[in-house]
Structure 1
Amino acid sequence: MRDEQILVVGGTGTTGSRVVALLRERGVAVRVASRTGEPRFDWIDRGTWDGALDGVTGVYVVPFDGESLTRPFVERAVARDVGRIVLLSGRGVDVPGYAGEASVAGPTHVDGEDAVRGLGTGTGTGTGSGAGGGGGAGTRWTIVRPAWFAQNFSEGFFLDAVLTGELRLPAGDGAASFVDADDIAAVAVAALTEDGHGGRTYELSGPRALTIAEALAEISGAAGREIRYVPLSPEEFVAELREQGLSAAEAADYAESLSPLRRGLDSHVSDGVRRALGREPRDFHAFVKSAAADGAWRTRRSTN
């Protein structure tokens, strides 16, 4: 095992679980932050933070959406001499009006990035090419801003609808440069374990943009059955979510999260994977092929 001890906040999620796996493959000691773990970690209970951070050399932070807790958590990490902090943020944080007024995650990301950047400037801070890093008490930070996850179709919040054969969204004909979560994790692990990433912000995307209809066409081909995209208005989408039992606030937030896609703000291709890893990002077609081989879109059979 190497000398690092990395705390992964969000270690059971889409990116966090992959970060954990990659770190362990490298022989790095990993602590998965969890309310049931030992030591216990709970975003809401600040009394658990110090125990989780004890002896840690680096932290991967998946923020708690809707709460301004990233800033005090980062401050605690710096106070305990954590050497590296990698923050999972979101695309469009630096674009006024990108997230929309109803966004829950938007303000969380904005405040989180501000907190991390506030640790210090150092050389190489921001999106420049310098290798130094900002940081309080020697802490180096890196921010990753991914586009829409490709895995939303295979294990995220699109999956249930995809399995029914019909995905109904207020996304219009907007396109997104979907990024593979494996690439996000690889960039995060590089920043946690290698030099040259301190003070950098990596915008991550796949190598091309696809509309929802185009993405589903590729999935349909791999799954061997048709999966349709049905475009809805935001009002229709919210009404359907309310019928499914979501609260008005939850439905509005979900609809708002799709508005950048509908407004054509997510189609650009970013170079963060290439900058961080020296290779091209994984294409959506490769993701689809792999997910299909793993049985992601096999229809579920009733257990009744």
Structure 2
Amino acid sequence: MPDLHKSISPLIGVTGAPGNIGTPLVRALLRRGARVRVLARHPETARQAFADAPPSQIEFGTMEFGKRQTYLDAFDGLDKLFVLRPPAVSQVSRDMFPALDVALGAGVRHFVLLSLQGADKLTITPHAHLEKHLGGNGAVYTFLRPSFFMQNLTTTHLPELKKGIIAVPAGNGRTSFVDTGDVAEAAAIVLTEDGHENRAYGLTGPAALTYREVAEIFTRVTGHLYRSTDPSPIAFYRLMRGQGAGRAETLVMEAIYATARLGLAKHVSDDLPTLLGRPAHSIEDFARSLPGLD
């Protein structure tokens, strides 16, 4: 009797959709003909976000890290799983390890983790803890270690950017900013092609820049004045908390910006253009696509 499970394309679970990475990832997977199960806290919201997707290629399930009752149904039948840590989840050993273990037991054979640039050295970060867990529990994994997302400037930091200010505590440290669309496309490639098992990729843009240089590029390309203010870590904490960010989320951001301040985010890697078969997008490309911020 033929193996019917192997006669159809693998079913890929995606966490973090809709979102900066999840949305373009799902669309990239669909373009590649993959079958996708979007796993979300609110599947109806996700269903609306992908209302134009072919019904034969996409399905929706309820899954929330930390809510163990959602795990079994969410992971049943999956072949591969894209794992994105929600910003509000800092206790990954409590809220994410059990989910990954259930997924492994349910038959997920390849985990693709959206990690963090330098996670192999920044052992205190949640991303490093997730890497260590997946590397030690018998899972087949791929770690994607992106640098700072360009799009964070127009989402997380939009209130300040609308004022012409880039307010992050990164000092004069350089960052190899990366485009979320490029990261999502790379993730889709890793999830649908062989040869990426048990590997880690550093995903960066083509240049390492200070935030002052980013502000200068935004000014030159858009014709609107931008400046970088470099708040102290304490001032940044108060700013983000005042804008409604959670304590744990803000502290993780502080840790990420500390890597830039300490010169740990400046590495430029060839992994992304190698995966994509084309150059990675630059800050200039991103500046040309900036939405109206008035």
8 Å CA contact 1:4–1:29 kept in 2: the answer is yes
The answer (yes or no) to whether the contact 1:202–1:276 under 8 Å persists in 2 is no
Q: Quickly say closer, same or farther: Cα 1:46–1:187, change in 2 above 3 A.
A: same
Map 1:69-80; keep pairs closer than 5 Å.
69-80=95-106
Q: Is the 8 A contact 1:150 1:178 kept in 2?
A: yes
Aligned equivalents of 1:219 and 1:70: distance in 2? 38
Q: Provide TM-score, normalisation by structure 1.
A: 0.80
Query: Where does residue 53 of structure 1 map in the other structure?
Result: 75
Call closer, same or farther: CA 1:88–1:243 in 2, change over 3 Å: closer
- How far 1:249 sits from its partner (Å)? 5.9
Partner of 2:210: 211
Matched residue, 1:66? 90
Q: Secondary structure at the match of 1:145?
A: strand
Q: 2:153, 2:166 within 8 Å by CA — same for their partners in 1?
A: no
Q: How many residues align?
A: 268
1:127 equivalent in structure 2: none
User: Counterparts of 1:241 and 1:6 in 2: how far apart (Å)?
Assistant: 35
Match of 2:262 in 1: 263
CA offsets 1:144-168 (integer angstroms, 9 cap, x no match): 01000111123x2122211111222
TM-score, structure 2 normalization: 0.83
Deviation at 1:252, TM superposition (A): 4.5
Q: Secondary structure at the match of 1:164?
A: coil
Matches within 5 A, 1:147-226: 147-154=147-154, 156-226=155-225
Change (3 A) 1:21 1:92: same
> SS at the partner of 1:225?
coil
Q: Is the 8 A contact 1:70 1:115 kept in 2?
A: no
| Change beyond 3 A, Cα 1:113–1:181 | same
- For 1:59 and 1:49, locate their aligned partners in 2 and report how far apart those are by CA, in whole Å: 13
In the aligned structure 2, how far is the partner of 1:42 from the partner of 1:21? 22
Percent identical residues: 33
Q: CA offsets per residue over residues 56-105 of structure 1, 9 Å max, x none?
A: 221100024302233222221221112321011111212257x6xxxxxx
Structure 1 residues not aligned, in runs of 5+: 100-105, 121-134
Partners of 2:220 and 2:250 in 1: CA distance: 31
Partner residue in 2 for 1:286 = 285
Q: Secondary structure at the match of 2:9?
A: coil
Matched, 1:30 2:36: yes
Q: Could you tell which deviates more after superposition, 245-254 or 210-219?
A: 245-254
Q: Secondary structure, in 3 states, of the residue corresponding to 1:39?
A: strand
Q: Does 1:142 align with 2:142?
A: yes
Change (3 A) 1:46 1:265: same
Runs of 4 or more off by more than 6 Å in structure 1?
A: none
State the secondary structure of the residue aligned to 2:141: strand
Identify which range, 219-228 or 175-184, moves more after superposition.
Answer: 219-228
Choose the corresponding residue for 1:86, options 112, 136, 143: 112
Task: Using the TM superposition, give the Cα deviation of residue 275 of structure 1 relative to its aligned residue in structure 2, in angstroms.
Answer: 4.0
Cα distance in 2, alignment partners of residues 44 and 178 from structure 1: 31
Question: Quick check: 2:66–2:96 contact (8 Å CA) kept in 1?
Answer: no
AA matched with 1:206: G
Aligned partners of 2:170 and 2:257 also within 8 Å: yes
Alignment CA distance shift 1:192-1:261 (3 Å): same
* Number of the residue aligned with 1:40: 62
Note if contact 1:205-1:269 (Cα within 8 Å) is conserved in structure 2.
Answer: yes
Shift of 1:112: 0.9
Distance 1:160 1:22 in 2: 29
CA contact 2:12–2:78 (8 Å) conserved in 1:
yes
Give the match for residue 49 of structure 2: none
